[in-house]
Amino acid sequence: MTEREWLTAERPWQMINFARERASARKLRLFSCACCRSALNEFAPGIAERALVAAELFADSALKTGTLEHVLHTLDASASAAGRDANSIGYLLHLLDACRVACFPSNPGDMARDVAQSAAYAAADLPLFASGSREPAELLAEFAAQCELLRCIIGNPFAPVSFDPGWRTSDAVALAQSMYESRDFSAMPILADALQEAGCENEQVLAHCRDARDHARGCWVCDALLARS
């Protein structure tokens, strides 16, 4: 994969294959969780949110494997019940399937593609369509959004940024930690100002903070500030 392809991709498949050899298991699992979160709406069952919290905690080594497996069993039961209900074919079934795969304790790099596809179908509220059919515009929009999530979480692997320890001021770190814990990244432009005050003039860092895109847990700038990988 080339840098241009990474920066302009509108389908995540090649990016996922490229990232799985280079990104940490934590980042790949957080990408899967972010894909699932993009599909949550008022019709999502409570188990979906609880499962994603568990998967995120597991990614940060804050949850035991046995607990995650218990959540997975609960999801299995919910997915089986949804599969027996003809009215559930579509959003609910795709969402539960995506959350299930995001909770698999095994290597998340092997699962990210399946999560992304199921989550995109859920977010677009589409049934499965036959192979060879033209992909609906709603689905293509979800795939493009997932590419943005990957770029948010992994950054540009062709141009990695070396973070100056001096940028890790108490204000910048506190902002990054607060956004990470709350999953509310609306303060990213404020983080850019804090980084500039700390002496950061790196355009890649500042542009990412000021970008209007959706950010997610695992955002490469916040991770760098919090010394997470």
Based on the fold, state whether residues 172 and 197 are members of the same structural domain.
yes
Is residue 159 one of the residues assigned to a domain? no
Is residue 203 one of the residues assigned to a domain? yes
Matching residue, tokens 């770190």: 173
Single residue among 102, 132, 154 that ends a domain in this structure: 154
Q: Which of 8, 211, 118, 7 is nearest to 219 (CA)?
A: 211
Single residue among 154, 180, 196 that ends a domain in this structure: 154
Based on the fold, state whether residues 127 and 177 are members of the same structural domain.
no
Based on the fold, state whether residues 27 and 60 are members of the same structural domain.
yes
Based on the fold, state whether residues 174 and 126 are members of the same structural domain.
no
Based on the fold, state whether residues 17 and 76 are members of the same structural domain.
yes
Number of domains composing the chain: 2
Q: Which of 170, 171, 155, 158 is nearest to 224 (CA)?
A: 155
The tens place of each residue's pLDDT in the chain, 229 residues long, gives: 999 999 999 999 999 999 998 999 999 999 999 999 999 999 899 999 999 999 999 999 999 999 999 999 999 888 777 665 555 568 888 999 999 999 999 888 889 999 999 999 999 887 765 445 678 899 999 999 999 999 999 999 999 999 999 999 999 999 999 999 999 999 999 999 999 999 999 999 999 999 888 899 999 999 999 999 9
Q: Domain range holding 104?
A: 3-154
Is residue 160 one of the residues assigned to a domain? no
Based on the fold, state whether residues 139 and 207 are members of the same structural domain.
no
Based on the fold, state whether residues 144 and 49 are members of the same structural domain.
yes
Q: Which of 206, 203, 153, 146 is nearest to 14 (CA)?
A: 146
Largest distance between two CA atoms of the chain:
58
Based on the fold, state whether residues 48 and 93 are members of the same structural domain.
yes
